Chain A
């Protein structure tokens, strides 16, 4: 059913339809509307879940670990400082192979304090073992939750997942959403069946420590499984597409890329602006296309190499910066294209909520075609 909804509320509705049994969350801007909406659903018996109002984000995810290990489907949501506070717990949840799903309303990290959007928060957790999905719009943000649970809970994967959508830009924006019915969601996402659980009838030990004789292999297994999840994402995405018409089976998605000479690569809502800019540039006969990265972890290295094999220039838009190096996405793209010799330029853009417009995308295309890049785009020199 099509309805016009705020992004956060659409995500909350998607989460409700996934029937989480335990929700544990803490308020933080711009994520708060999600957990408020879920609390309301629980209060009105629209959602039959235990809702734990924890004292901070660290405990939010810790409670999810306990709930998931005991055999419940669990959910949390956070952003920015909250995610940073969860750093230790994120690594732990993945290491314990618990399929928790968490929405990230992407926001910058302090200092200086900023409540506005960039993607530094989730990108900084790239090495933690979580799957990372990025949404371009609220329809995708909504749908990716169904997909994330299916993939995370697959017994051949058993890893937690972030569904990332840009704070404010998406979380506080009203868009038309085609919401799937409960009946259909139930057909796509069956009841949670834990691979193992804490159970007095069948005692097991969870979270033991590993000596150097074992630790290496534990990490190998996580890496292997995360890479293997690419096939599961593809398969599950196809199934979703057959059922509901929207196709998320590809981890990367080209837009007017087939004959493009210059390719822009980006994550999240900036892809929408970029598509509009490309349409205008195409009218001026500029051969520009977009490669949208939907899944950042596992990183679709081969898909990227294949999709960009024919282009002359690549401009990567990074709403994050690995300070002292480059944007995290650019590092991945350079890795993917290493043997191709295709030049890749990085543009750090839109940090801390700085608006990115079509003219900026066009300016970046002009820069990359002149072989200028690896810069913070749009610096206000007068304040430096």
Chain B
């Protein structure tokens, strides 16, 4: 059993107060325990945790490049196997590294079936370089490369469905999680680590700086994503959804209103048609994952 009282991602790193990614790192390492090797991609987490000669990682940690974490992890896993060692290999990569630039390496490593756990801390844009859109950026979010303007409502595409793509690769265990539900998150990470083969956990990790909210609101914002159905916490075993967190759904605007990246949907004028498009996405999620709790009629 892993001793979950240990802090393996140390304080004193340089993340913003209220950083969802830093919280992910803390929870993931707690769940993973000391017998773990972490592979980081280039990104916010790598930068705020390891400015030479300081490191926040109390477990062995390696960063090579932006796009190659799963290839590096493949090599580590092969090396450990050859040496008869039993450390668990855990990748910690952002959404840009996962959804976009690292996709070939991920596909190759998952197809080969290496025994590792891939954690994507999903803050829904390139935060390290200054909030540019990625394949994980939600519909209508304003970023520095998908700015809302006179003839744009921001990002024109919905989020890429990476869990489905990896399910198609035959990944035995896939889960989505949120920093708002730490116990659930840690349980999923533990399950992924203890499942043989390439497993994937995608963590919703709000970024106060990039999304535009106060740092003390991180958990509240993350919770609203779940409660509106815009983020669904679920588990997939052998490609089948086996469990999804049920909610009494709130209208999406309760989530959208908390963040500056969506403020163009409300100011200067309310954009009902766009909000309706986003509401329809939440509705589709609710149906697909059957998350609605039906309230009994009085």
**A67 pairs with B76, CB closer than 8 A:** yes
Knowing A63-B74, A204-B60, A206-B63, the reply to whether A56 touches B104 (Cβ < 8 A) is yes
Query: What's the minimum C-beta distance from B138 to chain A, rounded to whole angstroms?
Result: 29
Inter-chain contact total with CB atoms closer than 8 Å: 158
Knowing A22-B75, A200-B35, the reply to whether A59 touches B59 (Cβ < 8 A) is no
Complex Cα–Cα for A351 and B122 (A): 48
Query: What's the minimum C-beta distance from B285 to chain A, rounded to whole angstroms?
Result: 32
Knowing A62-B75, A63-B74, A209-B47, the reply to whether A69 touches B108 (Cβ < 8 A) is no
Q: Which residues of B contact A22 (CB under 8 A)?
A: 75, 78-79, 82
**B79 pairs with A67, CB closer than 8 A:** yes
User: Nearest CB to that of A49 among chain B residues?
Assistant: B82
Q: What per-residue 1/0 map shows which CB atoms of A249-264 lie under 8 Å from chain B?
A: 0000000000000000
Stretch at the interface among A7-15, A88-96, A265-273: A88-96
Query: What's the minimum C-beta distance from B111 to chain A, rounded to whole angstroms?
Result: 7
Q: How many residues of A contact B (CB 8 A)?
A: 42
Q: Which residues of A contact B112 (CB under 8 A)?
A: 52-54
Knowing A21-B83, A52-B112, the reply to whether A74 touches B75 (Cβ < 8 A) is yes
**A209 pairs with B108, CB closer than 8 A:** no
**A206 pairs with B61, CB closer than 8 A:** yes
**B79 pairs with A209, CB closer than 8 A:** no
**B78 pairs with A59, CB closer than 8 A:** no
Q: What per-residue 1/0 map shows which CB atoms of B78-114 lie under 8 Å from chain A?
A: 1111110001000000000000000011011101100
B73 on the A face (CB < 8 A): yes
Knowing A21-B83, A206-B61, the reply to whether A55 touches B75 (Cβ < 8 A) is no
**B57 pairs with A59, CB closer than 8 A:** no
Query: What's the minimum C-beta distance from B237 to chain A, rounded to whole angstroms?
Result: 26
Q: How many residues of B contact A (CB 8 A)?
A: 44
Other-chain contact of B75, A65, A96, A203, A207 (Cβ < 8 Å): A65
Knowing A62-B75, A69-B76, A74-B75, the reply to whether A207 touches B111 (Cβ < 8 A) is no
**B55 pairs with A54, CB closer than 8 A:** no
Knowing A24-B75, A200-B34, the reply to whether A96 touches B82 (Cβ < 8 A) is no
Knowing A209-B46, A209-B50, the reply to whether A67 touches B34 (Cβ < 8 A) is no
Q: Which residues of A contact B291 (CB under 8 A)?
A: none
Q: Which residues of B contact A207 (CB under 8 A)?
A: 62-64
**B71 pairs with A58, CB closer than 8 A:** yes
**B73 pairs with A66, CB closer than 8 A:** yes
Complex Cα–Cα for A59 and B74 (A): 9
**B61 pairs with A203, CB closer than 8 A:** yes
**B58 pairs with A203, CB closer than 8 A:** yes
**A65 pairs with B79, CB closer than 8 A:** no
Q: What per-residue 1/0 map shows which CB atoms of A1-32 lie under 8 Å from chain B?
A: 00000000000000000000110100000000
Q: Which residues of A contact B64 (CB under 8 A)?
A: 62, 65-66, 89, 92, 96, 207
B146 on the A face (CB < 8 A): no
**A66 pairs with B74, CB closer than 8 A:** yes
Q: What per-residue 1/0 map shows which CB atoms of A194-216 lie under 8 Å from chain B?
A: 00001110111111111100100
**B61 pairs with A54, CB closer than 8 A:** no
B187 on the A face (CB < 8 A): no
Residues 66-85 of A at the B interface (beta carbon under 8 Å): 66-72, 74
Q: Which residues of B contact A108 (CB under 8 A)?
A: none
**A70 pairs with B35, CB closer than 8 A:** no
**B72 pairs with A66, CB closer than 8 A:** yes
Complex Cα–Cα for A49 and B109 (A): 18
A64 on the B face (CB < 8 A): yes
Scoring B105, B108, B111 by chain A CB atoms within 10 A of each residue's CB, the highest score goes to: B108
User: Nearest CB to that of B59 among chain A residues?
Assistant: A203
Q: Which residues of A contact B61 (CB under 8 A)?
A: 198, 203-206
**A72 pairs with B104, CB closer than 8 A:** no
User: Nearest CB to that of B74 among chain A residues?
Assistant: A63
Complex Cα–Cα for A200 and B86 (A): 10
Q: What per-residue 1/0 map shows which CB atoms of B38-50 lie under 8 Å from chain A?
A: 0100000011001
Complex Cα–Cα for A202 and B87 (A): 12
Query: What's the minimum C-beta distance from B65 to chain A, rounded to whole angstroms?
Result: 6
B230 on the A face (CB < 8 A): no
**A59 pairs with B108, CB closer than 8 A:** yes
**A59 pairs with B104, CB closer than 8 A:** yes
Q: Which residues of A contact B55 (CB under 8 A)?
A: 205, 208
Other-chain contact of B87, A59, A200, A214 (Cβ < 8 Å): A200
Q: Which residues of B contact A208 (CB under 8 A)?
A: 50-53, 55, 63
Query: What's the minimum C-beta distance from A55 to chain B, rounded to whole angstroms?
Result: 3
A50 on the B face (CB < 8 A): yes
Q: What per-residue 1/0 map shows which CB atoms of B236-269 lie under 8 Å from chain A?
A: 0000000000000000000000000000000000
B127 on the A face (CB < 8 A): no
Other-chain contact of B79, A21, A58, A206, A210 (Cβ < 8 Å): A21
Other-chain contact of A52, B34, B51, B74, B83 (Cβ < 8 Å): B74
**B37 pairs with A54, CB closer than 8 A:** no
B209 on the A face (CB < 8 A): no
Q: List 14 A-B contacts (CB under 8 A).
A: A22-B78, A24-B78, A50-B79, A52-B75, A58-B71, A62-B68, A65-B72, A66-B71, A70-B37, A198-B37, A198-B87, A200-B34, A209-B46, A211-B51
B residues whose Cβ falls under 8 Å from a Cβ of A: 34-37, 39, 46-47, 50-53, 55, 57-65, 67-68, 71-83, 87, 104-105, 107-109, 111-112
A residues whose Cβ falls under 8 Å from a Cβ of B: 21-22, 24, 49-50, 52-56, 58-59, 62-72, 74, 88-89, 92, 96, 198-200, 202-211, 214
Which 7 A-B pairs rank lowest in CB-CB distance, beginning with the nearest?
Answer: A66-B75, A55-B108, A63-B75, A62-B71, A67-B75, A70-B79, A62-B68
- Using A54-B108, A62-B105, A206-B61 as known contacts, list a sample of 13 further A-B pairs with CB atoms less than 8 Å apart, ordered by residue number in A: A49-B82, A59-B71, A66-B76, A66-B78, A66-B79, A67-B76, A198-B76, A200-B60, A204-B60, A205-B50, A205-B62, A207-B64, A214-B52
